[in-house]
Copies of this chain bind each other. A is one copy, B any other.
Amino acid sequence: MRVAYNEQMNALSKILGEMAGLAGSAMERATQSLLQADLSLAESVITEYDQIAALSHQAEERAFALLALQAPVAGDLRSVVSGIQIVADVDRMGALALHVAKIARRRHPNHALPEEVNGYFAEMGRIAVALGAAAQEVLISRDPERALRLREEDEAMDDLHRHLFTVLMDRNWSHGVAAAVDVTLLGRFYERFADHAVEVGRRVVFLVTGTLPSDEDHEIDLAHGR
């Protein structure tokens, strides 16, 4: 029983790690497609989301089979339950990369972003990709200290998002309302991507230690318009 549980749990963790890896890669290409108005990159992200969705489905089935056939208890049960919750987060990370790519596609051959904010998105993209990689890493290593650090890394994303809003709200914004709407949504997508990576980290801490780190309100106040 124990051997079967370990094998099946490892297989589940592998799928979750793979999903986080795919979501990170999708966000990397989505960011490039946005910055360079590159249609084929955007298309690749959009097409490949199906793969993440298929893995979600597979992961849920495996978690269910594990519960049904192994009836795990204590820490083992916690791992499977956390796995079910993590599926939703990594799936959402993929969907958010998809949304970014869809905006890039929609605006092609134009750039969705005014040049003035390119630097923000290049940096938000970099942080998102790093958080995706960190999520993938902790899903495999189950290192709770590393998992907790995702939250700190998310702070840089929150700072950027806040600054981006000050740029948008500035009277000197000269790019019109349509661009402001795109920038608002895109900023939100990057921030939510990062939040879900942080959430994966929290779940990993829980599955290892049995204690869920407090859920600080890491979603920044979006409406601060300073």
Contacts and interface: CB of A to CB of B under 8 A. Distances in A.
A102 B221 contact: yes
Interface in A155-184: 165, 168-169, 173, 177-178, 180-182, 184
Interface in A167-219: 168-169, 173, 177-178, 180-182, 184-185, 188, 215, 219
Contacts of A225: 106, 178, 181-182
A35 interface: no
If over half of A's interface residues share one DSSP class (helix, strand or loop), that class is named, otherwise mixed; here it is helix
A171 B193 CA distance: 32
A185 to B, nearest CB: 5
A78 B64 contact: yes
A26 B63 CA distance: 33
Contact of A84 (B84, B180, B222): B84
A149 interface: no
B185 A177 contact: no
A219 to B, nearest CB: 8
